[in-house]
């Protein structure tokens, strides 16, 4: 089916493709996908004005369910690609999506350097606390002792304290949402997309097929909106405290934001005098003579 081009401002249909959704019924990916499209529409972005970068995983299958410039990378490797794209053309907002398996097991090194570099981009963690696409193995964010498909007795390792870990890297933006609260996710995504540097957004995501502990109902009954309870996102120590302490309730909302720290791009001295972007400076070079040497 050909989809007619839109006239005027963007709307939800602007992001529509006729590729069928293959996520399980009740999967949190639906909520995150919807909220991101709504945030982009409310910010006035047309699909051709943004770049959406997906890791490999259930969430990554959103790449062909969203009409936009999308990239679908290798497992655990979406961050370096997205950072490169953002630095090559800082005029295009870049959003990277990754699962907890990709981001805190396989590609955790990239997370460290993305936060400390303060790349100008948004990262959305689809935190379903397991490897969804490969049918429910434990990731480093799966709760300790939680029975999973390939570890029916639970895994021996401790759960990685991801929020404490992120805060130890001195991030400039940290938010947490829940895949069942679209309105809050829209607010978070819009703020993240306008942040100066690396915006880290952790979305607690229901996975009805493989995660039978952190279910939609469990998450719903444990989350609270810290901002509506008066939390001040400029207070680093308090943000870290409420992000890490999930004993009784789980804080959500914009937990921390610091706009005073320049992004990686702003700190690149050779770029500071430039009016053009790196993509505009690419020069076409005829290499046909050179290639003859290798024939």
Ligand X SMILES: Cc1ncc(C[n+]2csc(CCOP(=O)(O)OP(=O)(O)O)c2C)c(N)n1
The contact set with ligand X (CB under 6 A) reads: 56-59, 74-75, 99-102, 106, 126, 128, 131-134, 139
Evaluate whether 90 touches 277 at the Cβ level (below 8 Å).
Answer: yes
Sheet holding 69-72, edge to edge: 69-72, 51-54, 94-99, 121-127, 198-204, 173-178, 250-257, 223-225
For ligand X, the closer of residues 3 and 74 by Cβ is: 74
For ligand X, the closer of residues 47 and 76 by Cβ is: 76
Nearest distance from residue 146's CB to ligand X, in Å? 14
Nearest distance from residue 205's CB to ligand X, in Å? 8
Per the listing, tokens 């100066």 go with 196
For ligand X, the closer of residues 77 and 222 by Cβ is: 77
Nearest distance from residue 241's CB to ligand X, in Å? 27
Residue nearest to ligand X (CB): 99
Q: Which residues pair with 198 in a beta bridge?
A: 121
Per the listing, tokens 């401790």 go with 158
Nearest distance from residue 29's CB to ligand X, in Å? 7
Nearest distance from residue 290's CB to ligand X, in Å? 33
For ligand X, the closer of residues 96 and 102 by Cβ is: 102
Nearest distance from residue 188's CB to ligand X, in Å? 19
Rounded CA-CA distance 280/263 in Å is: 20
For ligand X, the closer of residues 120 and 132 by Cβ is: 132
For ligand X, the closer of residues 99 and 197 by Cβ is: 99
Nearest distance from residue 99's CB to ligand X, in Å? 2
Q: Write the CA distances from 179 to 23, 58, 79, 167, 287, integer angstroms.
A: 14, 14, 22, 22, 50
For ligand X, the closer of residues 206 and 239 by Cβ is: 206
């Amino acid at each position: 089916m050909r989809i007619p081009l839109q006239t005027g401002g963007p709307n939800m249909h602007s992001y529509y493709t006729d590729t069928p959704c293959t996520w399980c019924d009740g999967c949190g990916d639906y909520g995150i996908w919807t909220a991101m499209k709504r945030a982009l529409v409310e910010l006035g972005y047309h699909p051709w004005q943004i770049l959406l970068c997906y890791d490999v995983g259930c969430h990554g299958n959103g790449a062909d369910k969203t009409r936009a410039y999308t990239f679908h990378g290798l497992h655990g490797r979406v961050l370096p690609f997205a950072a490169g794209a953002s630095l090559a053309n800082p005029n295009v907002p870049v959003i990277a999506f990754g699962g907890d398996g990709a981001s805190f097991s396989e590609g955790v090194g990239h997370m460290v350097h993305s936060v400390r570099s303060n790349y100008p981009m948004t990262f959305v963690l689809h935190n379903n606390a397991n490897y969804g696409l490969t049918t429910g193995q434990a990731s480093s964010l799966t709760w300790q002792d939680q029975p999973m498909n390939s570890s029916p007795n639970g895994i021996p390792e401790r759960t990685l304290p991801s929020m404490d870990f992120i805060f130890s890297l001195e991030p400039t933006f940290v938010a947490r949402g829940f895949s069942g609260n679209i309105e809050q996710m829209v607010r978070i995504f819009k703020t993240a997309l306008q942040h100066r540097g690396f915006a880290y957004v952790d979305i607690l995501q229901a996975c009805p097929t493989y995660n039978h502990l952190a279910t939609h109902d469990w998450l719903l009954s444990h989350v609270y909106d810290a901002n509506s309870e008066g939390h001040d996102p400029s207070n680093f120590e308090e943000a870290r405290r409420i992000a890490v302490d999930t004993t009784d309730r789980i804080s959500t909302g914009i937990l921390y934001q610091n706009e005073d720290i320049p992004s990686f791009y702003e700190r690149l001295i050779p770029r500071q005098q430039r009016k053009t972007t790196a993509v505009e400076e690419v020069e076409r070079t005829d290499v046909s003579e050179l290639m003859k040497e290798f024939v």
